[in-house]
């Protein structure tokens, strides 16, 4: 009888954890990043308000840092525009003009996950300076490390002490990058260094961006 009672109580307490994990995995990237745009303000010096949700669309106004906006709707899924990750927002300005801005240029109190480009800029600076204290804030150790050469892939785990030896980087190469969103809400950043192609893997964990894997392919 005691065993049955214990098993029942265990199921009661554990089941919500599994439900919560499944819900988290099923959330889209946009849902993880943006929960509520109440109290939105522009966060960059000058931001284009566009007629349509497209970077090639007509600019109908220029917004300034600190300008208050009302978000009417969030359109489409997450995209990269250069290094800026976001979704297109249909907004209304304080003067009543309606148009579209990318969410990367909008701050809202309820959205706690840092904009990807700001997070990545700090990680890059720490990496270039070989500042492990800074890198550790943005990476999960031990770090998955894949080496691909002539059709074979070796999978390793690297600790903090090995990071700068395995993943060398120089400042000029850090600015020749391409960005993509992989299925499963993973962000990939690609760049070349000497005779190697690097791919960095990022995801949101506990409300923060984290580097969790590096793949190096020899050319």
* Cβ neighbours around 214 below 10 Å, total: 20
Q: Is the pLDDT of residue 16 over 60?
A: no
pLDDT for residue 69: 98
Q: Model's pTM, two decimal places? A: 0.84
Mean pLDDT confidence for 55-71: 97
161 alpha carbon, distance to own chain's centre: 25
What's the rounded mean pLDDT across residues 121-148?
94
CB of 37 within 8 A of CB of 65? Answer: no
Two tokens, residue 117: 């480009």
Strands 106-107 and 98-102: unpaired
| Residues 36-60 as b or e (16 or more Cβ within 10 Å = b) | ebeebebbeeebbbbeebeeeeeee
Give the model's pLDDT for residue 35: 86
pLDDT tens track for 31-42: 889 989 999 999
What pLDDT is attached to residue 2?
45
CB 202 within 8 A of CB 180: no
């Amino acid at each position: 009888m005691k065993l049955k009672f214990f098993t029942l109580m265990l199921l009661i307490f554990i089941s919500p954890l599994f439900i919560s994990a499944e819900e988290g995995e099923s959330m889209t990237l946009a849902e993880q990043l943006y929960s509520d745009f109440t109290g939105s303000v522009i966060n960059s010096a000058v931001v284009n308000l566009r007629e349509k949700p497209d970077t090639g669309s007509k600019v109908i106004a220029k917004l300034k840092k600190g300008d208050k906006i009302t978000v009417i709707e969030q359109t489409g899924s997450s995209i990269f525009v250069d290094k800026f990750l976001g979704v297109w927002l249909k907004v209304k300005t304080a003067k009543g003009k309606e148009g579209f801005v990318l969410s990367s240029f909008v701050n809202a109190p309820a959205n706690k996950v840092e904009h990807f480009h700001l997070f990545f800029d700090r990680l890059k600076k720490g990496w270039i300076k070989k500042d492990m204290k800074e890198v550790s804030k943005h990476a999960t150790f031990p770090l998955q490390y894949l080496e691909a050469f002539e059709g074979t892939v070796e999978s390793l785990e690297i600790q903090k002490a090995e990071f700068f030896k395995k993943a060398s980087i120089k400042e000029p190469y850090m600015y020749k990058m391409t960005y993509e969103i992989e299925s499963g809400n993973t962000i990939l950043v690609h760049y070349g260094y000497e005779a190697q192609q690097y791919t960095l893997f990022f995801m949101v964990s506990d409300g923060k961006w984290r580097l969790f894997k590096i793949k190096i392919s020899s050319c």
